[in-house]
Chain A
Amino acid sequence: MDRNALRTLLLERIGDRLDRIGIGRAGAEDDLDLLRSGVLDSLAFVDMVVILMDASGKEIDLERALDRPGSTTVGGLIELFTTP
């Protein structure tokens, strides 16, 4: 799954949450931190990662992956699945 497809899937899944927090889909830039902004809570974020794992077919060690700075941003999250 390429970067654009992952981004589309991510925005599709969190669209309602972006709206309710007042950011909107257009405001979901790469540097938007999904946890700090309140778009997702911890449980919803982990669920989102699992959804992306299933969609991309890439298994990742969550604890290690989330140790990387910026891993809870839109761009950082997509990067988890697009870098080897």
Chain B
Amino acid sequence: MPHVEDPLFDPIALFQRSVRSTPHGAALRINGSTITYAELDMHSRRVAAWCDMHCPRGARVAVHGRKTVLAYAGVLGILRSGRSYVPLHPEHPPLRWQTMLARAGVTCAVAPSDVLPKLSEAGIMRSFTEQDIPTHSASEVDRIGAEAYVMFTSGSTGEPKGVAVGRPQVAAYLRHVTLTYPCTSADRFTQFFALSFDLSVHDLFVCWAAGACLCIPPDDAPLRTAEFARSEGITVWFSVPSLVEVMHRMRSLKQGAMPTLRLAFFCGEALRTDIARQWALAAPKAATHNFYGPTEATIAITAQRITPELLDKDDPWLPLGIAFPGHQIRVMREDGWYDTGEGELLLHGPQVNTGYLGDEQATRAAFLRSPEGFGPWYRTGDRVRIEEDGSIYYMGRTDDQVKLAGHRVEPGEVDAVLQPLIPDGTAVTVPVEMEGTLRLITFIDAPADTEVLFTALRSRLPRAMLPERIITLVAFPYGAHGKLDRKALKEMATHG
């Protein structure tokens, strides 16, 4: 029984359409090799057949996120089998994988053979590896499951939160984006995002819906981005603004540096107007769009076309745009819900999911019903202003969450790992801007061996979440009302 409201825009239906129309066209460009749609189709059908033989129906299956043909065939094959995938970032510690796999109930994985020992430690019992690609039988049947993937985001209680994203929600996103920003088989897409970052779902399926080629940047050249775009003839770009900031600091954003680009999307963090100006110079033919959306609302849910008029304004940040059709936005203030004005942004509509895996408390806190009694409305934690025309302007966070290179980070997750190691003290992590970049600094008020603390952090957290330093204080600073003075902590971190 199909669950997708509009099966034409189901990710697998879109991929299959391109397999039929351009079987010999390039689907993937990876490490100098090209994989055709027919080849990727066959590889993924083998993964699907393996899932049918080894994983319970409806099970979730992990995909190790190293960007190989196996991983892309894995994502497709798992979806084709009617199951959902759980991507594992290749550089995250196995203990974090273990937590995520246990939370999602995963025991099967598609992964390179060299990581099987680590995956086994994390709870994986059966694996499909690169050695199975040439030999395994292929599935002839595709199934549409209810769920597409589970992505994990930082959780302030010390454990990552799993968002189970439905296939109807993904289909709703793909319907809007593929119709609004048409692409063709002549296009060449970037694939910068980690597979464990939900923006990668846009990369894969918007590209494959068009029969276009998905170009994977070489991992030995993380700073040669402009050269990658030129040499691969990239026409469609999607990244976090931080990547452009790196290019800007490298002085790579020279006039016309990326002449082949015709379409560009940014998402994952606020887009600065000065960076967008530099971008417009480097990619003069690119129509550029600023997207916004939390994982809970499937990839992105608002868009703003960046026009010369917007770039001329003095605003430091570009607007988030308006909600995709079919969605409703409101703001919540202490005295109620409103359609316009300032407040915490609330999202409702076909892309909004229903909660966190196995975490009723967090689900109840973030997924609400409206005063009129319908839902779910996702409470974003983003403070915004909604204008009369529906345009949304970002104003900050209502909590401590920060974005580091597009990744959501709850500083409280760092504190939760450290707290058991300093029973007589407290750990408080604050985000601090250092040399133009946001970094985390942790303060503790009890003597501790920082090497022991860092060892514990490294075993549980991604590198991007490790604090820059751990500073020991005699006592925390408190304000007049007895509240911890975070501003004073930030001052200490900056000025010593």
Considering only residues 20-42 of chain A, those with a C-beta below 8 Å from chain B are 20-22, 35, 38, 41-42
Across the interface, do A63 and B249 meet the contact criterion of CB distance under 8 Å? no
A9 neighbours in B (Cβ, 8 Å): none
Across the interface, do B454 and A38 meet the contact criterion of CB distance under 8 Å? no
The stretch among B220-228, B305-313, B374-382 that forms the contact with chain A is B220-228
Across the interface, do A43 and B455 meet the contact criterion of CB distance under 8 Å? no
* Chain B residue with the shortest CB-CB distance to A63: B252
Decide: A43 near B223, CB < 8 A? Known: A20-B454, A20-B467: no
Across the interface, do A42 and B454 meet the contact criterion of CB distance under 8 Å? no
A41 neighbours in B (Cβ, 8 Å): 405, 464
Q: Does A47 contact B (CB under 8 A)?
A: yes
Q: Does B17 contact A (CB under 8 A)?
A: no
Decide: A46 near B223, CB < 8 A? Known: A20-B454, A22-B454, A62-B252: yes
A46 neighbours in B (Cβ, 8 Å): 223, 246, 249-250
Q: Does A19 contact B (CB under 8 A)?
A: yes
Q: In the complex, what distance in Å separates the CA atom of A57 from the CA atom of B251?
A: 17
A55 neighbours in B (Cβ, 8 Å): none
Decide: A43 near B437, CB < 8 A? Known: A62-B252, A63-B250, A63-B252: yes
CB distance from B457 to the nearest CB of A (A): 8
CB distance from A46 to the nearest CB of B (A): 5
Q: Which of B222, B249, B466 contacts A21 (CB 8 A)?
A: B466
Considering only residues 220-253 of chain B, those with a C-beta below 8 Å from chain A are 221-224, 226-227, 242-243, 245-246, 249-252
Q: How many of chain B's residues have a CB under 8 angstroms from any CB in A?
A: 31
B249 neighbours in A (Cβ, 8 Å): 43, 46-47, 50
Across the interface, do A67 and B227 meet the contact criterion of CB distance under 8 Å? yes
CB distance from B318 to the nearest CB of A (A): 20
Q: Does B91 contact A (CB under 8 A)?
A: yes
Interface flags for A42-71 (1: CB within 8 Å of B; 0: not) read: 111111001000000000011100110000
Q: In the complex, what distance in Å separates the CA atom of A61 from the CA atom of B91?
A: 30
A72 neighbours in B (Cβ, 8 Å): 222-223
* Chain B residue with the shortest CB-CB distance to A38: B463
Q: Does A79 contact B (CB under 8 A)?
A: no
Decide: A44 near B463, CB < 8 A? Known: A20-B468, A38-B91, A63-B250: no
Across the interface, do A66 and B242 meet the contact criterion of CB distance under 8 Å? no
Across the interface, do A16 and B469 meet the contact criterion of CB distance under 8 Å? yes
Q: In the complex, what distance in Å separates the CA atom of A21 from the CA atom of B468?
A: 10
Q: In the complex, what distance in Å separates the CA atom of A61 from the CA atom of B252?
A: 9
Interface flags for B249-282 (1: CB within 8 Å of A; 0: not) read: 1111000000000000000000000000000000
Q: Does A7 contact B (CB under 8 A)?
A: no
Q: Which of B223, B227, B245, B458 has the most CB of A within 10 A?
A: B223
CB distance from B139 to the nearest CB of A (A): 37
A16 neighbours in B (Cβ, 8 Å): 468-469
Q: In the complex, what distance in Å separates the CA atom of A35 from the CA atom of B405?
A: 15
CB distance from B456 to the nearest CB of A (A): 11
Q: Does B424 contact A (CB under 8 A)?
A: no
Q: Which of B224, B405, B450 contacts A66 (CB 8 A)?
A: B224
Q: In the complex, what distance in Å separates the CA atom of A19 from the CA atom of B423?
A: 23
B435 neighbours in A (Cβ, 8 Å): 47
Considering only residues 102-122 of chain B, those with a C-beta below 8 Å from chain A are none
Decide: A42 near B223, CB < 8 A? Known: A21-B458, A22-B458, A50-B249: yes
Q: In the complex, what distance in Å separates the CA atom of A21 from the CA atom of B450?
A: 12
Q: In the complex, what distance in Å separates the CA atom of A72 from the CA atom of B250?
A: 14
Across the interface, do A44 and B437 meet the contact criterion of CB distance under 8 Å? yes
**Which 7 residue pairs spanning A and B have beta carbons closest together?**
A38-B463, A62-B250, A46-B249, A42-B246, A66-B223, A43-B437, A20-B454
Chain A residues within 8 Å of B, Cβ to Cβ? 16-17, 19-22, 35, 38, 41-47, 50, 61-63, 66-67, 72
Kindly list 17 other residue pairs between chains A and B, CB separation below 8 angstroms, not including A19-B451, A42-B242.
A19-B450, A20-B457, A20-B467, A20-B468, A21-B458, A22-B454, A35-B223, A42-B222, A43-B245, A47-B249, A47-B436, A62-B251, A62-B252, A63-B226, A66-B221, A66-B250, A72-B223
